[in-house]
Amino acid sequence: MKKFETFCPIRDILDRLGDKWSVLVILMLEKNDVVRFSELARSIPDISQKMLTVTLRNLEEMNLVKRTIYPEVPSRVEYSLTKLGISLLAPMHSMIDWALKYKEECLGSTNK
């Protein structure tokens, strides 16, 4: 059996994308193309401002999300998916479809 090394790109990427919020943020950006922070916060009501900030920074560091700051008063910040972020949508939707199809088998009666 092949071992996963301590430094493993698969592990590192899944660790960063597998949190509770990243997929939801990416899906909201897919639906809306360009979104302001407050719009994201409203569209995911149970995420705290701190977690949304951390999630957006993480996705930006991974080059999945682009942050654009407009020099206005007050300043305006918008988020959108990068080309790399858009390339993640197809495999992410496949995973979502799989999860919806096999939800009951995986979670049993714990999530009805």
Domains of the chain: 9-111 (1.10.10.10)
Structure tokens at 24: 């939801």
Number of separate helices (H) and strands (E) present in the chain:
5, 3
Residue by residue, pLDDT tens for the chain (112 residues) are 666 666 677 777 888 888 889 999 999 999 998 999 999 999 999 999 999 999 999 999 999 999 999 988 888 899 999 999 999 999 999 999 999 999 899 887 665 5
Q: Which of 43, 26, 31 is nearest to 84 (CA)?
A: 26
Global pTM reads 0.82
Give the CA angle between residues 46, 107, 14 to the nearest 5°: 65
Token pair for residue 23?
A: 């997929």
Cα separation, 49 vs 103, whole angstroms: 29
Please give the distance of CA 32 from its chain centroid, rounded to a whole number: 14
What pLDDT score does 20 carry? 85
Backbone angles phi, psi at 45, to 5 degrees: -65, -25
